[in-house]
Amino acid sequence: MTVLIIAGAAFAATELGLLARGQRYLGVLAAGLGSASMLAAGILEHDAPLIGISTGGIVGFLLWFWGGRRWRKRARKELGDESRQLRDGLVRRMRQRRVTRPVWSPSPSPSR
């Protein structure tokens, strides 16, 4: 149980660090993960105030998530150029592999 509380505290610290650096979207995602781990800890320990606070955090996260339609585009922008280049390289390789390749067909074995 204490592992979940420590994980929730770590996500809360990560959230504050990301918000301080101006990465609002990643900070809110960290807040959602922290609320989820604290909710799990509250359920396992039967702690009503912790369950209530964590449920409020998850409801806030879900309202934020479904509130903005442009969130996905902003999240992609937050991921950066390196992941975009990796994705483009994978797509390029898959398109080049569209060429059919010869396949070995099993030959009948001689019967004795």
CA atoms within 13 A on the CB side of 21: 12
- Mean pLDDT in the chain? 81
DSSP state of 100: -
Mean pLDDT of the 59-87 span: 73
**pLDDT score recorded for residue 97:** 75
* pLDDT per position as a tens digit, 15-68: 889 889 888 888 888 888 999 999 999 999 998 998 898 999 888 888 877 776
8 by Cβ neighbours in 10 Å (0-12 / 13-18 / 19+) ranks as: buried
Distance between CA 110 and CA 64 in Å, rounded? 69
